[in-house]
């Protein structure tokens, strides 16, 4: 871990025969639209099409892709901030404005797990 802040640590909750003594609450509460959430997962490759579709007005798509890769590297577990853009009444699903490849990633809000991100 070196000089990394403990606030960035992620605990493995369950792996094979190992069970953690501590766990996070799975919440059935609804997350209001336009609220910030934390998304824990493995970002995918930031392709030009994704960058231009999700981030209108970029001055330099290539430079933005490089900066995004440095900030949230592909295939490395990260915590990123997303914004809930949609929440259906009969099924809670979200469009999260964050990195590609995080479908199925854990969504956290107010210290509780709220299922997984569905990217549209």
Q: Give domain limits for the chain.
A: 25-116
> What CA–CA distance (Å, rounded) separates 59 from 17?
50
Mean pLDDT of the chain: 76
Query: Does 108 have pLDDT greater than 60?
Result: yes
DSSP per-residue letters across the chain: -TT--GGG-----EETTEE-S--PPBP-PPPPTT-EEEEEE------HHHHHHHSTT-S-HHHHHHHHHHHS-TTS-EEEEEEB----SSS----B-S-TT-TT-EEEETTEEEEE----
Q: Which residue has the higher pLDDT, 120 or 33?
A: 33
Its pTM surpasses 0.85: no
């Amino acid at each position: 871990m070196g000089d990394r802040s403990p606030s960035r640590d992620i605990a493995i909750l369950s792996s094979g025969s190992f069970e953690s003594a501590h766990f996070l609450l799975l919440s059935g509460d609804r997350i209001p639209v336009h609220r910030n959430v934390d998304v824990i997962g493995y970002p995918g490759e930031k392709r030009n099409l994704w960058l231009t579709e999700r981030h209108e007005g970029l001055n330099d798509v290539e430079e933005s892709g490089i900066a995004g890769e440095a900030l949230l590297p592909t295939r490395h577990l990260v915590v990123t901030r997303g914004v809930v853009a949609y929440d259906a009444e009969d099924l809670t699903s979200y469009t999260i404005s964050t990195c590609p490849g995080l479908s199925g990633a854990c969504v956290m809000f107010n210290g509780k797990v709220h299922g997984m991100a569905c990217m549209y």
